[in-house]
Chains A and B, each alone.
Chain A
């Protein structure tokens, strides 16, 4: 009797696991299918040319996605670059704090900051950074009528993304840095290295995979970020010729146009933009997966 029950429980458990696993995979498959089915008319009609066409004139049935691909990749690159450089430096400093309560406090602070919703960073970007940038640039063009110039565009978006990604990069990098065995650091010190030399020659090389992974995960997040980007990108469907041209990313295009565009192909092209985003994030996730130590990927993906 007892044997029977265990058997039944196991069976139930197994069914649940396999069932929920199957449901998840099925759902993901359906999402991708849906994307593809809806995107298919546009893909079929306009072909690969949308990838390099820079014109976006829905009223004339001209749909070039290049401005949005370009804005997505370049604003993410700016944001991730700034966040990685500053973030790694910050993580090194935090991991080196010797005062116990300050160390615990600062690492907690960083992890908490990583949870702040991106919309807050968008608000910060448009209400705080934008006026300052505008003033800075305006002062250089003093001959112009107005001191205040528009600054929405790739640069402001990059800055906003950087601020948003910074805590996460610091948190992940700090974790990989403190995982470096103390015995290696002491080995370097015993050879006459300063703490800085030990950091550069031993700690960073040892942690490089983790840092690399953090950067790629951040990149994936930057590519997909929507709300904060919508607030600072300027929302103009045209190619950004300068860092301060109002433009649109794939995400901000989707978020702001889905409701305003009618017509069969207009709808379809938006699905194609979504599908492109799907592929872009997949590529970067795959790279991250190869580089990040497994445990960290798992932990972080839950957080994100």
Chain B
């Protein structure tokens, strides 16, 4: 089951360049929260703070609190945090030297050790949830680079889900995909939210409107406004939000 994620007073920098200023945001359990905003507004940096990937960048620093349920993400081990909070990137990035099976098994093997009797079961489960099983079940040993871009992205989703995380972070997961593959990813997100808390960054306002229960608007490293998606799109409180969602902005 998904768990609620909360960012409290989050700030982040690259060296001396501050890119995120005191952002607080609740991401309720089993909800899809969309993060929208113009390029460079700090959306990626924000979600990369949530799974502690931000700190792997040289000279990157952050402050503030991230809570998963009632646990402080920055008090647990970074590895554990990343196992509980999965991530899917904009560019599909399956490991090209590994087979389809190995890609999905990777997280489990890192966590539980090499040979586990339940490994193939778990891999199948993850691929089924990611709606990829029927397409790859006969070619699990083939290289992951032989899949189409859309399939690769679903493989990356399966790879993240194999660890049974509480949260799935997606950074523009459909930005390089064709409309059909995008639709499949959106349908998948809809199915997944029963089981996972989902945070999705998107440039595409229609996409946010289609998939998200709640939406937050970022601008220049600040969280300007948040609310249910309907509220934010129809009756925004802030002028800047209104400009952005009506397309009068950037």
Where the two chains meet, the residues of A that have a C-beta atom closer than 8 Å to any C-beta of B are 98, 100, 181, 183-184, 186-195, 197, 201-202, 205-206, 208
Contacts and interface: CB of A to CB of B under 8 A. Distances in A.
Size band of the B side of the interface? 20 to 34
Interface string B97-112: 1100000001100110
B159 A181 contact: no
Contacts of B86: 190-191
B97 A192 contact: no
Contacts of B87: 190
B80 A191 contact: no
B79 A190 contact: no
Nearest to B102: A201
Contact of B97 (A189, A191, A197, A206): A206
B106 A190 contact: no
A187 B96 CA distance: 12
Contact of A201 (B53, B79, B106): B106
Contact of A183 (B91, B111, B163): B91
Contacts of A191: 82-83, 86, 106-107, 110, 159-160, 163
Contacts of B56: 186, 189, 195
A190 B97 contact: no
A194 B83 CA distance: 12
A100 B92 CA distance: 29
B51 interface: yes
A280 to B, nearest CB: 31
Contacts of A98: 58-59
12 contacts: A100-B58, A186-B53, A187-B94, A187-B95, A187-B159, A190-B87, A190-B89, A191-B83, A191-B163, A192-B83, A205-B97, A206-B95
B93 interface: yes
Nearest to B87: A190
A190 B171 CA distance: 13
Contacts of A184: 93, 95-96
A278 B18 CA distance: 60
Given A98-B58, A201-B106, A202-B95, A192 B53 contact: no
Contacts of A187: 89, 93-95, 156, 159
B53 A189 contact: yes
A183 B94 CA distance: 9
A183 B93 contact: yes
B93 to A, nearest CB: 4
Contacts of A194: 79
A161 B79 CA distance: 42
B160 A193 contact: no
A187 B144 CA distance: 14
Nearest to B89: A183
Nearest to B59: A98
B122 to A, nearest CB: 13
